[in-house]
Amino acid sequence: MNNDKLEIRIYNDPVLREKARPVAVVTPRHVEIARQMAEMMYGSRGVGLAANQVGLTERIIVVDVEWHKREEDNTNPGRQPIFMVNPEVTEESDTDDVASEGCLSLPGIEGDVWRPASIRYRYTDLEGRPVEAAAEGLKARCIQHEIDHLNGVLFIDRMEPAERKKLAGQLAKLRQSGPVRV
Ligand code: NI
């Protein structure tokens, strides 16, 4: 990749509404993108980031939902990013769960979102190996939120319309704001 520094794209950026394309073969370029994404996620104190959020429409996400806790506990290493290429949910629980979500692309916005409480999922790791796993709780929520990004979907799309309406003023302000540099 060239030397352009990646930056986190905010709500008004159309790339957040694009559908990212599958990665055919994991190359060193993807590894470098993933590494930069993790740096930006940790730098912004986030727990997940999708490639669309840094302006790239390729199916790559990074997730690390417990690093704050590990950092507080002084567990080494505090940062254990999970890189997922072409992540896919293969099974959803019948039970849904609600929790408040936020997003690095929607600074200052939070809202309750219902999602399947647990999932099974698969992805390709940065060595090109297929991985299958299960998740629940915050990790399941975060993976679903990031896969949504790859499909051009934001968490506000999944909020109850009445709840989303309350955010209209804040969203309008975000829409007018320029890119946020991180
Ligand atoms: Ni997000």
The domain segmentation of the chain, as residue ranges, is 7-181
Q: What is the mean pLDDT of residues 80-105?
A: 97
CA separation (Å) from 58 to 53, 62, 82, 101? 11, 12, 16, 23
Please determine, for residue 2, whether its predicted confidence score (pLDDT) is greater than 60: no
Residue 93: predicted pLDDT: 98
Distance 111 CA to ligand 1 centre (A): 12
Active site residues: 146
- At the fourth CATH level, the homologous superfamily of domain 7-181 is Peptide deformylase (3.90.45.10)
Q: How many other C-beta atoms lie within 10 A of the C-beta of residue 75?
A: 12
Q: How many other C-beta atoms lie within 10 A of the C-beta of residue 85?
A: 23
Please determine, for residue 74, whether its predicted confidence score (pLDDT) is greater than 90: no
Structure tokens at 130: 């297929």
77 upstream amide cis, omega within 30 of 0: yes
Neighbouring residues of 78: CB distance < 8 A, sequence distance ≥ 6? 67, 70, 71
CB 63 within 8 Å of CB 48 = yes
The whole-angstrom separation of Cα 148 and Cα 141 is 11
* Residues of the chain above pLDDT 70, percent: 95
DSSP element (H, E) containing 34:
helix 28-43
Please determine, for residue 181, whether its predicted confidence score (pLDDT) is greater than 90: no
Whole-model pTM: value is: 0.93
Distance 105 CA to ligand 1 centre (A): 6
Distance 114 CA to ligand 1 centre (A): 15
Distance 38 CA to ligand 1 centre (A): 14
HSE of 87, CA atoms in CB hemisphere, 13 A: 29
DSSP element (H, E) containing 88:
strand 82-92
Q: Whose CA is closest to 51, among 28, 66, 30, 65?
A: 30
Distance 125 CA to ligand 1 centre (A): 21
Neighbouring residues of 168: CB distance < 8 A, sequence distance ≥ 6? none
